[in-house]
Structure 1
């Protein structure tokens, strides 16, 4: 029983609580926040197997990214885009070295192309065998300083970083490495001849800016955080040029006098959701309010309420509410995966067990990847140490969480459309027969090994491409497999209420709103979009 009382476990049920069985696409793509799943797994391993010694892993604790306040928004995006490694995250305000700049260039190239540079690498330098330097050299991103030297610890100037990053662009796609401008900087003459084409490209595309409107200061040293910001701007520009940004399901709602923007979210964190299209990002910059189903940044406050709904009163248990056959199936499933026994979870109700069971049986597979294993730092080879330091320090929030955190950065007001208590009440208030039917579907799919990942990947691909019709077909397929009570509560009723909320926001003449709800609520015959159209509002898909 105490296992499921782990904070992360019940928070996993709290975050956008509309999680369905594993076989329901809505449950997979519109449910639990990825970030919290990861913490759930870590806490679950500790609690079920005993907390492991962390002495050997302390050296590999994620570094704190202590960026300057002015850099916060863009460094955050650089991390979401996977451009930050553990090495680059350390002492991020400090000046960047040539070796770390090479690493930043390689990481940018790998994210732009999807290629990993590996294998045996030529080492022409006598003063470094850093694999990132050798990768950058192989790609033609960097050169030595002469006499077989690289000078890895030397600082990097603004103009030299422009050259390194320009080379990363060139190597990823030469056709896009174009850009020129007439410089108005009074110190343009200080830019070395070899760096002028790269610097012109960076300036013409808004990637690098002057220290002031008239001063470029090309030979001053540049910091890690500035480097990450340059990489972030390039990554956005290249993805826009490739037409590879995520378009999502994005609508403009108008009453003829005022517009409100409506974005369909994928609640599950996935790197394929980023970068989000420039249209969406630019629209969000100017809003005063963001409206979401649940403000998941305040999930810690929900603990007591969730557990009051999820747990049985004394004298009752899971066995009382489900068939003996289903109870036995769950028991065997847990025994097979060697995580918990049925006795550990029988104090929790079916709707809650349904949400956490896929994570519980997934712990075994996650353990096989080395999560929770001690790292023997003293006996690692230099190559192994370097690989750890080069791990991406990536953060992949769900779309709603991304915009909530952006809202906090921009001091945008956060408004809840429903609130977590509404969603908890909805799930816990379903009939015993519906709760059991949904749980039975989940158990059946876990027993037979049905893998929803292909369906989830397809759904995300449709969302990323802005393919409204195909996304709708997946949601309809999901609804066809679910009980009518579930569909009525999860979809139809909520869609009407969400549409009513949007109507309220339209009537608020003094404020504008950016509304983020699960993408499944914006498609189908009873969708928020259809409801608003039936009320006479103009709803336009922004593609």
Structure 2
């Protein structure tokens, strides 16, 4: 799995393009139209993976069902509901629709939930988890496809989270101007801290928007290809020609450990590897199986709903910020990020690196806690954007001073569109908060901006 993360991060395409079909030797199994709106959440929570077109229409196996029920159990445990004594009679669990319903029901029946005493079929139908055919038949004896089991598992998790007003709220504001509405979502370009599922209010904001805009269009294959070309050397040199032998040896070891081979990363520039190792070092056992960054989830949900996708920056502009870093900075950037990754993999680390890793963990935990609680003040306190901008760091200041003004202008343009429009703008949360953030920037321009309650 880490090898897949590595390739996805180096490609610069954090999106799971759940409507695209990978090239396969066998005929791909496409999701049914009725399940497409479930794919983003299912992928985010690990109910499907990147190879779903090889099995989604096949009969679910008992092993697959066990993985699904484990995910449901883990998600329901996070709700901390009152527990319920086990039923005396065991239900039949098999790969029929009825057996899958029983398996999922048993996970919910461990808790004191309204209606759970009515039994599997009644409980799941009342929640909307199971929906029969046009005549209302549930076809419990029929073999259950993976797709059907996935949808039932996903619906069960979301229904119980919504019933308990649970899920990650996200840093979400609403700006208005006449008939125009602009939702502002500050994202974190990671998946950790059991961030999924997202709260219904956030999912509803995505669904209500006609256009969903990001920093970059995660579906722009030409832009992604451009970023890939910027990440690699085109002059015939390799990584070994640009960093010290000691650092290169460490990259070789990391490449081998990640399954990329001893020379698998030779083509990449230090800044590209640094960004990737940094992201990998921030993942932990609270990261979902697919490591789906929040931006990628929003994109997948929007694409699968047929939304118009927009971007406020280009790959050339954003990639240029990194590619324009001095060689000295790139080498030190790679050194620091690789050290954090090595420590995360259990390697020995100097006291300085241990301290940096501890600080990183404290900041990340605080950021995600604030994000999940929709608490921008707490986020700003732990993130400390002012210190980042004035740190003297070659990269950090550019990430904001060269970008925030353009994002404010783009946000204002959405509010000035003719007609009645609803847009959601999802960019890094650091661009939303002060100093110089989008929220205060729009207020200074005279727009009404309020935190979504």
TM-score, normalised to structure 1, is 0.63
Q: Cα gap change, 1:342/1:524 in structure 2, threshold over 3 Å: closer, same or farther?
A: farther
Q: Quick check: 2:42–2:154 contact (8 Å CA) kept in 1? A: yes
CA contact (8 A) 1:289 1:415 kept: yes
Kindly provide the CA deviation profile for residues 341-377 of structure 1, in whole angstroms up to 9, marking residues without a partner as x: 99997876553453356589x8xxx9xxxxxxxxxxx
Structure 2 gaps of 5+ residues are 18-26, 80-84, 343-348
CA distance in 1, matches of 2:68, 2:426: 33
8 A contact 1:318–1:348 mirrored in 2: no
Is 1:238 aligned to 2:202, yes or no?
no
Alignment match of 1:169 (pick from 108, 120, 132): 108
Closer/same/farther in 2, CA of residues 142 and 93 from structure 1, 3 Å limit:
farther
Alignment counterpart, residue 216 of structure 2, candidates 294, 297, 302: 294
Q: Name which of structure 1's ranges 503-512 and 427-436 shifts more when overlaid on structure 2.
A: 427-436
CA separation of 1:482/1:343 partners in 2, compared to 1, >3 Å: closer, same or farther? farther
Residues 451-493 of structure 1 deviation map (CA, whole Å, 9 limit, x = unaligned): 3445433322321222222221232177168435433320133
Q: Which of 343, 346, 370 does residue 462 from structure 1 map onto?
A: 370
Task: Give the Å deviation of 1:405.
Answer: 1.7
Residue of structure 2 in register with 1:78 after alignment: 42
Distance (whole Å) between structure 2 residues aligned to residue 342 and residue 103 of structure 1: 33
Correspondence for 1:253: 175
Find the aligned partners of 2:255 and 2:106 in 1 and give their Cα distance.
51
Q: Is the 8 A contact 2:223 2:316 kept in 1?
A: no
The equivalent residue for 1:475 is 383
User: Which whole-Å CA distance do the structure 1 matches of 2:338 and 2:196 have between them?
Assistant: 33
Is contact 1:81–1:271 with CA below 8 Å preserved after alignment?
Answer: no
Q: Could you tell me how far apart the structure 1 residues matched to 2:309 and 2:130 are?
A: 32
Confirm whether residue 330 of structure 1 aligns to residue 267 of structure 2: no
1:519 maps to which residue? 429
Partner Cα separation in structure 1 for residue 252 and residue 56 of structure 2: 46
- For 2:9, the equivalent position in structure 1 comes to 12
| CA-CA distance at 1:162 after TM superposition | 5.4
Separation in structure 1 between the aligned mates of residue 384 and residue 179 of structure 2, nearest angstrom:
34
Report if the CA contact (8 A) 2:187-2:294 is conserved.
yes
Deviation at 1:312, TM superposition (A): 6.8
Q: Does 1:418 align with 2:313?
A: yes
The correspondence of residues 132-151 of structure 1 with structure 2, limited to 5 A, is: 140=87, 143=90
Q: Residue 346 of structure 2 aligns with which residue?
A: none
Cα deviation, residue 504, structure 1: 0.8
Measured in 2, the distance between the counterparts of 1:474 and 1:139 equals 43
Distance apart, 1:494 and its partner CA: 0.9
In the alignment of these two chains, the number of paired residues is 414
- In structure 1, C-alpha distance between the alignment counterparts of 2:253 and 2:193, rounded to whole Å: 32
**Structure 1: which 5+ runs fail to align?**
1-5, 17-32, 37-62, 116-137, 145-149, 180-194, 321-325, 367-391
Aligned equivalent of 1:178, options 115, 129, 133? 115
- Against the structure 1 CA distance between its residues 99 and 11, is the aligned structure 2 distance closer, same or farther, given a 3 Å change threshold? closer
- State the partner residue of 2:21: none
User: Which of 200, 223, 234 does residue 278 from structure 1 map onto?
Assistant: 200
Match of 1:400 in 2: 295
Residues in 1 aligned to 2:137 and 2:319: alpha-carbon distance in whole angstroms: 56
1:354 aligns with 2:354: no
**Deviation readout 1:501-534 (Å, 9 max, x if unpaired):** 0111111124431111011211122111111111
- The question of whether the paired residues in 1 share the 8 Å contact of 2:180 and 2:417 is answered with no
Q: Is the 8 A contact 2:255 2:263 kept in 1?
A: no
Shift of the 393–280 alpha-carbon distance from structure 1 to 2, 3 Å rule, reads closer
Q: CA 1:68–1:34 in structure 2 vs 1: closer, same or farther (change >3 Å)?
A: closer
| Cα 1:310–1:10 shift into 2, 3 Å | farther
Distance 1:347 1:79 in 2: 31
**8 A Cα contact 1:294 1:418, kept in partner:** yes
What RMSD in Å do the two structures reach over aligned CA positions?
4.6
Deviation at 1:275, TM superposition (A): 0.7
Asked if structure 1 preserves the Cα contact closer than 8 Å seen for 2:255 and 2:264, the reply is no
1:189-228 paired onto structure 2 within 5 Å = 198-212=120-134, 215-218=135-138, 221=141, 223-224=144-145, 225-228=147-150
**Greater C-alpha radius of gyration:** 1
Map of 1:492 onto structure 2 = 401
Describe the superposition over 1:252-285 as per-residue Cα deviations: whole angstroms up to 9, x where unpaired: 0112432111111122234722111101111222
State the Cα deviation string for residues 192-249 of structure 1 (Å, max 9, x = none): xxx965544434433333534xx42245545333333222122012223444301111
Q: Structure 1 residue 536 and structure 2 residue 446: aligned?
A: yes
Counterpart of 2:412 in structure 1 is 503
1:82-101 counterparts in 2 under 5 A?
A: 82-83=46-47, 92-93=56-57
**Equivalent position of 2:185 in the other structure:** 263
Per-residue CA distance 1:384-411 (angstroms, 9 max, x = gap): xxxxxxxx99534211111222222111
Instruction: Tell me how far apart the structure 2 counterparts of residues 347 and 106 of structure 1 sit (CA, whole Å).
Output: 40
Instruction: Write the deviation string for residues 308-330 of structure 1: whole angstroms up to 9, x where unpaired.
Output: 5653746898767xxxxx83552
- What is the correspondence of 1:374-393 to structure 2 with a 5 Å cutoff? none
